[in-house]
């Protein structure tokens, strides 16, 4: 039996917090286990944009990703799959 009153081997879709499960066998022997689930802070994106000069493709986007749980995958449209972009018009 779980602390949230769930009676089963697998307890899904739990919120962050501490949990205890008590297991009792056919001979009334019991075992108790404790565990906790933490939250992952939401991803925060910060950008520094450098505009291109009239004479060339020297614009850039410097992206900084904080929080979340990496590694992260990047997909720019159009353009690339890296954290930062350069040589932009």
DSSP letters, 32-84, are: EEEEEE-PPPPPEEEEEEEPPPTTSS-EEEEEEEESS-S-----BTTTBSSSS
Supply the pLDDT for residue 32: 95
The side-by-side arrangement of strands in the sheet containing 59-66 is 44-50, 59-66, 85-88
- The DSSP code sequence of 20-44 is EEEEE-TTS-EEEEEEEE-PPPPPE
7 φ/ψ angles, rounded to the nearest 5 degrees? -115, 90
Supply the pLDDT for residue 61: 93
The one-digit pLDDT tens for each residue of the chain (89 residues) are: 787 777 888 888 888 999 999 999 999 999 999 999 988 889 999 999 999 988 888 899 999 999 988 899 999 998 789 999 998 88
Supply the pLDDT for residue 22: 93
Supply the pLDDT for residue 5: 78
């Amino acid at each position: 039996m779980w602390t949230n009153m769930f009676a089963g081997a697998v307890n899904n879709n739990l919120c962050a917090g501490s949990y205890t499960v008590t297991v009792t066998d056919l001979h009334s022997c019991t075992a108790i286990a404790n565990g906790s689930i933490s939250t992952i802070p939401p991803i925060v994106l910060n950008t520094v944009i450098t505009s291109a000069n009239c004479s060339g493709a020297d614009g850039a986007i410097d992206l900084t990703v904080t929080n979340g749980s990496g590694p992260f995958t990047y997909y720019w449209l159009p353009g690339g799959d890296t954290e930062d972009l350069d040589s932009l018009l």
